[in-house]
Amino acid sequence: MSSSFRSQLDCPAIPQGQNSMVWSQQSEAERPALSAILPRLYLGAESDVTQERLASLGISYVLSVSRCSPQPSFLPCSRYLRVPIDDSLRDELLPWIPQALHFIDAAMSSGASVLVHCAAGISRSPALAVAYIMYSLGMDLDHAYRFVKERRPSISPNFNFLGQLQHFQGTLSQKASGGRLHIQQLDDRLPSIPDSVTRSPISQNVSRQGDGRGGSGAARHTRRTGVTRSRGGRDARSPMEVAGGRFLCQGNFRLFV
């Protein structure tokens, strides 16, 4: 880890040892405003998910990095994805990265804007935003972290997530022939979403297909990300539509060609 990245960690948004959930007990005025990380990619808190706020920014997709934040009634299931992890030193971020990247990529590729949020927009959702910047802009963890922090200074992903992002950086360094790794190839190199989680009612919009560990590569891919691969390894569905745990095709758009 570089010295510049360490210096960022030495200045967290909240005191060391305190849980980022303290923001949920503070007034709206004390919380950081919703932040634009890229054109059409926003980072924020659970309190930002209001119909008026999202409409004012043209946001029509929401990725919630939380086990219990309510799904907004005004948002179709097809435009909502939950990554059910806590801000803890034991929860696994890596297995969810391919599915989260696909959701963000598909939404943005369709011309839509997406909000990634957790309870306070400090630890869990920034960790996924950093992962997306690493993947989409080809940055290492140090530069991606600083890229996001410059746009949302309050971020402070916990050390568990930072360690997993270092692992993700190593995965990204395994270049595919002719360019960067596609999301499906990342999925083959990262841990699987636990079967117990994919069967949990808490985990909305997560594929419940397949349970066998010895299945085909396509079956393993479906279990991990909920995206069914074609024989050529490409995904035939985008924008990604999720309903009742299944991804639905919208027209003939292909994300990876």
Residues annotated catalytic, as ranges = 118
Q: Would strands 35-38 and 41-45 be described as parallel, antiparallel, or unpaired? A: antiparallel
Residue 240 one-letter amino acid: M
* Interior angle at CA 141, CA 137 and CA 142, nearest 5: 105
Q: Which residues of 232-244 are buried (b: 16+ CB within 10 A; e: fewer)?
A: eeebbbbbbbbee
Bond into 126 cis (ω within 30): no
| 3-state secondary structure (DSSP) of residue 22 | helix
Q: What are phi and psi of 184, to 5 degrees?
A: -65, -35
Say how many Å lie between the first and final Cα of the chain, rounded: 35
